[in-house]
Amino acid sequence: MSDAAQPTAAEVRAAAEAVKTALDRHLAAVERRSGEDDPAVYEAFNQLAAAAETYDELLYDRYDEVTPFEIPGADDSLPPYTGPEEPSAVSVLIRRDYAVAEPQRLMAQARRVEAAEPGSTDTDVSGTVHGALGILFGEYEADEIASRHKEFGLEEGDSTLWVTAADEPAEPGEWLEAPFEQADPQRIVCRFDISAVFDDEFDDEDEDEGDAVAALEDGLAGGLGTDLDTDLDTDLDGDDGKLERPGAGR
């Protein structure tokens, strides 16, 4: 990081004070908790985690120093489940992010869809990225676009799927005006997240495992004084997703 972009000493000090304040608020919330799943404690916990993370980042940027805090990510800090133990209905909420990596490919695919429609002569819509996206997402199911995204000039970003418990099925058209407004993290039965962040974690694990295997091979070979031809298989979880609260256990 350049000197111009570094936080000031005053900013680091202010972040440290924010952590102290958040600690006091968290302790006060714990002392006043009304039950095991007190929302005030949960909120104070999140505020403390956010303050500690900010301080940790500023401290590192300014002084190249770290804290002993381990800040849980969103996948590790789901709120307590408060939905029904035996849901009679569920809602599946999906978000998938894409980057438009190849606009020309995207628009070419949209023109093919237009050309296949009888009597279609208007190419103005497929001639823009906005119009091409509308055509392709209107023609193909979201799952098919996810599996063929490279064909459409798209690059996958993060994605998440939430399964949330409901007391009863929604009435037709009930939530169409604001489909995600009532998403309640405390009613998540399970969720599945996919992110390049997890790929980085597994790469680090692979590197650590590789170093350990190499050290073991060197040690054994040195101790025996012979060439060692050993196939050491490491069973690593290669999935790039993370599953949280399977079945909720409730």
Nearest to 120 by CA among 139, 148, 140, 100: 139
Q: How far apart are CA 64 and CA 67, in angstroms?
A: 11
Reply yes or no on whether the pLDDT at 184 is more than 70: yes
Would you state the pLDDT for residue 226? Answer: 40
Would you state the pLDDT for residue 122? Answer: 58
Mean pLDDT value across the chain: 79
Helix extents (H) in 127-239 = 129-139, 142-147, 196-224
- 199: tokens are 């790929």
| Chain segment 25-63, per-residue pLDDT in tens | 999 999 998 887 788 888 898 899 889 989 999 999 999
Q: How far apart are CA 174 and CA 56, in angstroms?
A: 44
| Chain segment 80-123, per-residue pLDDT in tens | 788 888 889 999 999 999 999 999 999 999 999 988 887 665 55
The model's pTM:
0.52
Neighbouring C-beta atoms of residue 201, cutoff 10 Å: 13
Reply yes or no on whether the pLDDT at 72 is more than 80: no
- Give SS3 for 66: coil
Q: How far apart are CA 72 and CA 46, in angstroms?
A: 10
- pLDDT: which is higher, 181 or 125: 181
| Chain segment 201-229, per-residue pLDDT in tens | 556 556 666 666 565 555 545 544 444 34
Reply yes or no on whether the pLDDT at 126 is more than 70: yes
